[in-house]
Structure 1
């Protein structure tokens, strides 16, 4: 839900609670659980998974390797589920022309700096910057930055979709009255 009026632009950022992250965390959990069950069944010599006979897998070295991959996958899956639960990277961007203030809020990992809150004056914004990097399979990944005087570039968002970020950058630059730079 984004909200925009004549003087205020509020954009909600959804980072870790995307549907793709839920799918990857679920698939990784099920796959690593399967690896761990196969490794455990080869160690015990009993079929813990009914459709896969444990006699075909010898514990040393195949069962140990499968157990290792299962445990490693469970750790990675738990990391993904924690980032989803803590909503890491999500927040909002608030641009207020009437007050002349930009507020950027993001959730981080639990700890001292869990809440990341940045405030800038609109007059200190030098430009909106689009950075293009080559992604996987030669697809460009576009990053949107806000170039602040004396602070450097503050990242706003990234996307694999070309049109939406270019349109967003143009609309934001027009709203703030600053130029666009492409790198």
Structure 2
């Protein structure tokens, strides 16, 4: 049975096994942009088609106000591009590209990093390392116009493996807490936090 101390939103710790879930492409911003591009693309494409066939396909657009060449043609082109981009986003969401988990198993002495990729031969991306190969937990903090706050698993030999999700950066407090909790669980050093 899991106690409240061992259960957090994206982290589950049971019997010396910690599993951190990674959302990947199924985050709110991707749903938002997929919807916006879908509706916008359909609107632009129907407006362009309306100007060509001389029929109002959308009730709030008068086809007589739009000439097919060049406005209708350009709107059709923009609509097709938006629909292709939205199709790509919906496919990434459906396939859960980038989603997965980071599992730290003290019982078996392994670290398992798992992510879903695009369909094909390499759909399942899985990295497995021994806990003995872990040098430390590294925190990368870069402030500025495009801030980056990331947690890395540093292996002996100075190879860094990204553990945090891509997207909206976590607050400084959240990143410090997650890194400290992970370093404490693995009983390794913490690098990058003064």
What TM-score do the two structures reach when normalised by structure 2? Answer: 0.86
- The answer to whether the aligner puts 1:19 opposite 2:3 as a matched pair is no
Give per-residue Cα distances to partners, 1:12-39, cap 9 Å, x unaligned.
2111222332222111100111011111
What's the counterpart of residue 3 of structure 2?
none
- What 5-or-longer segments of structure 1 have no aligned partner? none
Query: Is the contact made by 1:17 and 1:87 (CA closer than 8 Å) also made in structure 2?
Result: yes
What's the counterpart of residue 70 of structure 2?
61
Alignment of 1:2-151 (within 5 A): 2-5=11-14, 7-134=16-143, 138=145, 140-150=147-157
Q: 1:88 aligns to what SS in structure 2?
A: coil
Alignment partners' CA distance in 1, 2:143 and 2:79: 32
Alignment of 1:140-179 (within 5 A): 140-150=147-157, 152-158=159-165, 159-162=168-171, 163-179=173-189
Query: CA shift at 1:122, angstroms?
Result: 1.1
Alignment partners' CA distance in 2, 1:70 and 1:36: 4
Query: Is the contact made by 1:10 and 1:93 (CA closer than 8 Å) also made in structure 2?
Result: yes
After TM superposition, the runs of 4+ consecutive aligned structure 1 residues lying more than 4 A away are: none
* Matched positions, count: 181
Alignment partners' CA distance in 2, 1:30 and 1:3: 38
Alignment partners' CA distance in 1, 2:156 and 2:74: 53
Give per-residue Cα distances to partners, 1:24-55, cap 9 Å, x unaligned.
21111001110111111111122111111111
Alignment partners' CA distance in 2, 1:157 and 1:113: 21
Give per-residue Cα distances to partners, 1:144-182, cap 9 Å, x unaligned.
211112371111113512122221111101111222222
Q: 1:157 aligns to what SS in structure 2?
A: coil
Q: 1:41 aligns to what SS in structure 2?
A: helix
Aligned-residue Cα RMSD (Å) equals 1.8
Alignment partners' CA distance in 2, 1:147 and 1:94: 15
What TM-score do the two structures reach when normalised by structure 1? Answer: 0.91
Alignment partners' CA distance in 2, 1:10 and 1:78: 31
